[in-house]
Amino acid sequence: MMKFLLIDDSAFSRKISANYIRKYFPDASIEFASDGEMGIQKFDQTHPDYVIADLLMPKVSGKDMISILKKKNFHNIIVLSADVQKGIRQEIEAMGITAFINKPLSDETMQVLYAKIKGTRYEAAK
């Protein structure tokens, strides 16, 4: 069973994201955290396969949390953020994350993410 840790300070975003995760990964378990500090604690407790996190969060930012997870030799990090400034996105992608996805999630972005997680190539229907 695949384990996800979903970290976002918006309860609404956590709910929407969890619904998409359940749709594409019906057997997955999902843990939740509402800020980066809690996210790191949950990570240490639950040992997820994938972390899906926002960038703009209280206590510990998404960027700082990514750095901490990288130091723990964890690389399966998916950033889900409305902050899509080109410079920020490039900086975060250079940290070696699995994917950077713009909020809100959609079926199309989840299909791309599903393919990336499953190790296959997604091709949009023509």
Please report, for residues 22, 49, 71, 108, 120, the alpha-carbon distance to residue 114 in angstroms, rounded to integers and kept in the order given: 11, 13, 26, 10, 8
Pair 27, 2: CB distance under 8 Å: yes
- pLDDT tens per residue, range 4-53: 999 999 999 999 999 999 999 999 999 999 999 999 999 999 999 999 99
Average pLDDT over all residues of the chain:
89
The CATH class for the domain spanning 3-118 reads alpha beta
CA angle, residues 31, 89, 24, in degrees to nearest 5: 35
30/3 Cα distance (integer angstroms): 6
SS3 31: strand
Most confident range (mean pLDDT) of 45-49, 89-93, 120-124 is 45-49
pLDDT at residue number 116: 87
